[in-house]
Amino acid sequence: MHRQAQSELRNRLEPMHPADIAYILEALPLDERLTVWNLVKAERDGEILLEVSDSVRETLIESMDRDELVDAVESLDADEIADLAPDLPTDVVEEVRSQLSLEEREQLRAAMSYPDDSVGARMDFDAVSVREDVTLETVLRYLRRFDRLPDHTDQVFVVGRDDILRGALPLDSLLTNEPEVMVMDVMRRDVLTLQVLDSQSEAAQAFERYDLISAPVTDPQGRLLGRLTVAEVVDVIREEGDADLLSQAGLREDEDLFSSVWRSAKNRWLWLAINLCTAFFASRVIGGFEGVIEKVVALAALMPIVAGIAGNSGNQTMTLFIRSLALGQVNAANARRLVVKELAIAGLNGVVWGGIAGLCAWWLYSESPQGVLLGLTMTLAMILNLLLGALIAMAVPLGLQRAGRDPALGSSVLLTFSTDSMGFFIFLGLASLLFR
Amino acid sequence: MHRQAQSELRNRLEPMHPADIAYILEALPLDERLTVWNLVKAERDGEILLEVSDSVRETLIESMDRDELVDAVESLDADEIADLAPDLPTDVVEEVRSQLSLEEREQLRAAMSYPDDSVGARMDFDAVSVREDVTLETVLRYLRRFDRLPDHTDQVFVVGRDDILRGALPLDSLLTNEPEVMVMDVMRRDVLTLQVLDSQSEAAQAFERYDLISAPVTDPQGRLLGRLTVAEVVDVIREEGDADLLSQAGLREDEDLFSSVWRSAKNRWLWLAINLCTAFFASRVIGGFEGVIEKVVALAALMPIVAGIAGNSGNQTMTLFIRSLALGQVNAANARRLVVKELAIAGLNGVVWGGIAGLCAWWLYSESPQGVLLGLTMTLAMILNLLLGALIAMAVPLGLQRAGRDPALGSSVLLTFSTDSMGFFIFLGLASLLFR
C-alpha cells in the first residue's frame, strides 16, 4: 500500500475504540487484516486482542514475534492476561509473569486455575472496598483519591477483618445520603454474592433476574476476591446463544470468516461423518425391506414423509424441553405431567397430520389397487413414529443432563437418527405385514 | 388448601423478589399458579406481571377482574404500563390513563407509539439531567434530594436549553473530582446517544461492544427523551437468542409449560403443515422415478443419504452465513469471496464424503451387477447436491435480507425442501441415465 494511504489509515484508526478496531479486523481478509494490525499502535495491541474472536485472535498472534507479544500483554490486568494466556506461547506467558508484582502474580495464578465455565474465570480484581465504621464523607474522600473508578462500579464493597465481605454500599446511597452518616447505617447486607466456583450460566441468570450491574465474588470462607460485572455477563449470554446455534448445526467452533477452505472444512467434518454413519444405518433399514418395495414401489416415495414429519415434530418437543431443563423448570414433581402432555400432543399431531397424509396418499394412489392400504399404513406409521419421536426428544436430553452433560449437545443427531431409522422400520414393517 | 398452610405460604412469599415470584408462577400448573397468585399482596401484582413470560401473563390477567387490574397497573411507571397495555382489556388501560398526570399520559402515549423493535419501546423516562454551568457540589446537593436514584444510574445527563443533550457526567467523575469543579470541565461530550427509532438489536450490539450501562435516548432534534439501560439490553439479547432457537424449530411463540394440549398443538401446526407440503412435493419427485426404482431397488435405500448429507452441510453454511449477516460482516466487497469459499468447501465435502459414500455403496452392493455404477451415481449426486445446498444456503438468507425480512425466518424450510427434492431428482435422474 502507498505510504500516504497508510498514514491516513493510521490517523483514522487512532481515535477508534479497541472494540471497533477488533470488528474491522474480523471483517477483513487475512492479508489486509495484518496490514491494519501492523498500523495499530503497539500499546493498544493487548486490548484489541481481548476483543477479537478466538479464531481471529489466533491469526493475529501468529503474526507477532515474542517481544511484540510481551509488550502487548504486559500492560493488561491479571484477569485479562489469564484470558489470553491459553492462546499465547508459554515462554511469552512466563516472561510476562516474571514482570508482575507478587499480588498480580497470585491473581494470575488464581484466575488461570478456575474452570472455564466458573465465575472465577470471568471475575476481575478491581473491587473497591471500604470499612463499615467510617462515615460516607470518609468514603467520598477515599474515592476522590482515585483517578477514575474501575468500570462498572455501581457499589463499593464493605469488608471486615481478613477481607470478609459484610455487605455493599451502592453509589446511589453514597450520593443520596448526608455525608455524616455511617457506612454501617446505609449499607446493604443482603447483597447477592457469588462464589468463585459458581457456574457462569447461573450467575448470568441471577444478573438477569435481579437486573444487577456488579456482584461481589468470595471464596468459600466469605473473603472478598473480586467482582463480576454485567459486561462479562452480557458476553456469557451472547456466547451461550451462539454456542447453541453453532452446536445445533454441528459446528465445533466459531469460524474466522476468511480462514482457509481446508480449515473451515475440518471444523465441519465430524458432524458430516456422524450424519453419514446414521444415514447409512437408516439406509440398511430400508435395504432390509427391499422385497416389499419391489412389490409396491410407491412405498419408496412415501417413506421419507413418515420420517421427516416425526423429525420435525420431535424437534419442536426437544427445543422446548431443553429450554425448560436449562431454566430449571422441569423437576421430579412435574416431569410425569410434562411427558404425558407432550405424548398427548404427539398423539394428536399423529391423528391429525397422519390422517391428512394418509388421505393424500390414498388420493395419489387411488388408481392402484393398494391405495386404501397405503393410506392406512401411512397414518398408522405416522402416529407411532410421532409418539416415538416425542419420547426420544424428552428421554435423550434428560439422560444427558442426568449424566452431567449438556442436554443440547448431540440430542438432535440422536433424534433424527431415531425418527429416520424407526420411521422407515415402522412404515416398511407395517407394509410387509399388510401387503402379503 | 388449608388456611394455616396458606398463611405460611403468604409469609414465605412476602420477602421474595418479584422476579422470583414470577419464576415460581411459571413453574406451577394452572390451578396452583392461581392459588399462589391470589396470595401475593395486591400492590406487587404490577411488578410481577412485568416479570412473567407472555403466555403466563395471559393466564394471570384472565383470572383478575377489572378493579384488580387497575390497582395492579396504576402503580407502575408510564413505560411499564406501555409494556403491559397490549395484554390488558382496553377499558382497564383507559381507566389507568385517566388517572395519570399530563406528563405521564404523554409518556404513555409516546411509549405505545414506538415500534416493538425500536429503542423507544424499551426506554424509560427516569433520566436524571443537570446543567453544564454548575459545580459538582451543586449536582451532589441536587442528587441528595432524591430518596434514591433511578436503577442503573451510572451517569447523569447534561442538557442545555430545550432539553437538548450536551453530554453526560459519569458518577465516576462526580466522585473522583473536587466539588468545586464545573460540570462542563469534566463532562463527556462524546457519549453514545441513541435515537428513539433506532433498532433495539443494533443498540444491544453497541452496549455489548462498548460495555455500557446506560445510554441517553433523544428525538431527531437532539432533545433528551429518556434512556436505555443494560437491564433492558440483557433482555433483548436473551429474547433474540430464544426467538432464534424457537423459530428454528418452527415454534411461533414461547409456550406456557402447562398450557393445554390443544393450545400447544396449535402453536406447532403451521410448521408441521408446511413441512408436510414440502415432504409430499419431494415424494412426488421420487414418484416420477418409480420405473428406475423398480428396476434397481437399491436406489430407494441409498437416496435418503444423498438428501440428508446435503441438508446437513447446507445447514452449516446457512448458520454461519446468517450469523455473518446479522453481525454486518457480509458486504458487497467480500460477498463474492465468501460465496466462492463456501462453494469450495461444499465441493471438497462432496468429493470427500461423496467419495466415501460411493465406496460404501459399492461395497454394500458389490454382489449385484450394478455395484460400481451405484457407487458412481452416489458420488456424483452428492457432489452436485452439496454444491446446490451451499448455493441455496447463501441465496435464501441474502434474498430475505434484501427484501427487508429476517434472514433466519423460513430459511431452513426452504433449504431442506431444496436439498431433499433436488437430491432425489439429481440422484434418481442420474440413475435413470446410467441404468438403461
- Closest-CA distance, B405 to chain A, in angstroms, reads 20
The cell numbers describing B202, all together, are 443494533
Considering only the beta carbons, identify the residue of B153, B245, B312 that sits closest to A172.
Answer: B153
| Residue-level pLDDT, tens digit, chain A, 436 residues | 578 888 888 888 888 999 999 999 988 888 889 999 988 877 788 999 999 988 899 999 999 989 899 989 988 999 999 999 989 999 999 999 999 999 999 999 999 999 989 999 999 998 999 999 999 999 999 999 998 899 999 999 999 989 999 999 999 899 999 999 999 999 999 999 999 999 999 999 999 999 999 999 999 999 999 999 999 999 999 888 888 888 888 887 777 778 888 888 888 898 999 999 999 999 999 999 999 999 999 999 999 999 999 999 999 999 999 888 888 888 877 888 889 999 999 999 999 999 999 999 999 998 888 889 999 999 999 999 999 999 999 999 999 988 888 887 778 889 999 999 999 999 999 999 998 7
Strands B129-130 and A224-229: unpaired
Closest Cα partner for A49 from A19, A28, A70?
A19
- Closest-CA distance, B244 to chain A, in angstroms, reads 8
Considering only the beta carbons, identify the residue of A29, A144, A240 that sits closest to B178.
Answer: A144
Residue at which a domain ends, from A65, A83, A117: A117
If asked whether residues A147 and A204 sit together in one domain, one would say yes
Considering only the beta carbons, identify the residue of A23, A234, A279 that sits closest to B234.
Answer: A234
If asked whether residues B222 and B295 sit together in one domain, one would say no
Neighbours of B260 (CB within 10 A): 13
8 Å CB contact of A261 and B345: yes
8 Å CB contact of B177 and A255: no
Burial of A249 (0-12, 13-18, 19+ CB in 10 A): buried
Nearest CA in chain A to B310: A272
Which tens digits make up the pLDDT trace of B261-317? 888 888 889 899 999 999 999 999 999 999 999 999 999 999 999 999 999 999 999
CB–CB of A422/A392 below 8 Å? no
Considering only the beta carbons, identify the residue of A207, A234, A319 that sits closest to B251.
Answer: A319
Mutate to test the interface with A, among B230, B259, B356 (most CBs of A within 10 A): B230
CA distance A43 to A79: 18
- Closest-CA distance, A287 to chain B, in angstroms, reads 5
- In three-state form (DSSP H/G/I as H, E/B as E, the rest C), the secondary structure along A65-99 is CHHHHHHHHHCCCHHHHHHHHHHCCHHHHHHHHHC
- Domain assignment of residue B251, yes or no: no
If asked whether residues B184 and B77 sit together in one domain, one would say no
Residues of A in contact with B324 (CB under 8 A): 257
8 Å CB contact of A257 and B153: no
Choice between A184 and B336, residue whose per-residue pLDDT is larger: A184
- Closest-CA distance, A423 to chain B, in angstroms, reads 12
Residues of B in contact with A236 (CB under 8 A): none
8 Å CB contact of A153 and B172: yes
CATH number at B76 reads 1.25.60.10
The two counts, helices (H) then strands (E), for chain A are 21, 6
Residue A333, pLDDT score: 78
Q: Longest C-alpha distance within chain A, in Å?
A: 97
- Domain assignment of residue A122, yes or no: no
8 Å CB contact of A264 and B211: no
Residues of A in contact with B245 (CB under 8 A): 244-245, 319, 323
CB–CB of B309/A272 below 8 Å? yes
If asked whether residues B48 and B179 sit together in one domain, one would say no
If asked whether residues A275 and A370 sit together in one domain, one would say yes
Mutate to test the interface with B, among A297, A360, A364, A367 (most CBs of B within 10 A): A297
| Whether residue B193 has pLDDT greater than 80 | yes
Mutate to test the interface with A, among B80, B234, B331 (most CBs of A within 10 A): B234
Locate cell 433520566: which residue?
B127
If asked whether residues A112 and A223 sit together in one domain, one would say no
- Domain assignment of residue B138, yes or no: yes
Q: What is the dihedral of CA B157, B160, B164, B167, to 10 degrees?
A: -40
The cell numbers describing B316, all together, are 452449516
CA distance A274 to A279: 9
Backbone angles phi, psi at A241, to 5 degrees: -60, -45
If asked whether residues A243 and A342 sit together in one domain, one would say no
- Domain assignment of residue A288, yes or no: yes
Residues of A in contact with B257 (CB under 8 A): 324, 329, 334, 338
Residue at which a domain ends, from A117, A144, A160: A117
Residue A245, pLDDT score: 81
Dihedral (CA of B93, B95, B96, B102) sign: positive
Dihedral (CA of B310, B311, B313, B318) sign: positive
If asked whether residues B49 and B140 sit together in one domain, one would say no
Residue B311, pLDDT score: 93
If asked whether residues A149 and A241 sit together in one domain, one would say yes
The cell numbers describing A245, all together, are 446455534
Its domain, for residue B168, covers 129-231
* C-alpha distances out from residue B154 to A336, B145, B202, Å: 47, 17, 21
Mutate to test the interface with A, among B130, B145, B175 (most CBs of A within 10 A): B175
Closest Cα partner for A379 from A362, A398, A396?
A362
Residues of B in contact with A309 (CB under 8 A): 272, 275-276, 279
If asked whether residues A155 and A177 sit together in one domain, one would say yes
- Domain assignment of residue B245, yes or no: no
Strand pairing partners for A226? A217
- Domain assignment of residue A254, yes or no: no
Strand pairing partners for B124? B227
8 Å CB contact of A279 and B17: no
- Closest-CA distance, A27 to chain B, in angstroms, reads 5
Residues of B in contact with A178 (CB under 8 A): 144
- Domain assignment of residue B255, yes or no: no
Phi-psi region of B352 (alpha: psi -120 to 50; beta: other; left: phi over 0): alpha
The DSSP line for B29-97 is -HHHHHHHHHHS-GGGHHHHHHHS-HHHHHHHHHTS-HHHHHHHHHTS-HHHHHHHGGGS-HHHHHHHH
Mutate to test the interface with A, among B128, B176, B284, B362 (most CBs of A within 10 A): B176
The cell numbers describing A253, all together, are 467452533
CATH number at A231 reads 3.10.580.10
Residue at which a domain ends, from B86, B114, B142: B114
| Whether residue B1 has pLDDT greater than 70 | no
| Whether residue B337 has pLDDT greater than 70 | yes
If asked whether residues B11 and B160 sit together in one domain, one would say no
Residues of A in contact with B208 (CB under 8 A): 234-235, 238
Give how many domains chain A has, as a whole number. 3
CATH number at B426 reads 1.10.357.20
pLDDT (mean) for B204-223: 94
Considering only the beta carbons, identify the residue of A19, A312, A320 that sits closest to B271.
Answer: A312
Considering only the beta carbons, identify the residue of A154, A207, A261 that sits closest to B344.
Answer: A261
Residues of B in contact with A301 (CB under 8 A): 283-284, 286-287, 290
Could you list the beta-strand ranges (E) of B143-286: 155-159, 165-170, 194-195, 214-218, 224-229
Which tens digits make up the pLDDT trace of B345-359? 999 999 999 999 999
If asked whether residues A166 and A89 sit together in one domain, one would say no
- Domain assignment of residue A172, yes or no: yes
* b/e B129-146 (16+ beta carbons within 10 angstroms → b): bbebeebbeebbeebeee
Residue B408, pLDDT score: 79
8 Å CB contact of B245 and A244: yes
Name the helix (H) or strand (E) containing A226: strand A224-229
Mean pLDDT of all residues in chain B? 91
pTM of the predicted model as reported, rounded to 2 decimal places? 0.86
Which tens digits make up the pLDDT trace of B130-162? 999 999 999 999 999 998 899 999 999 999 989
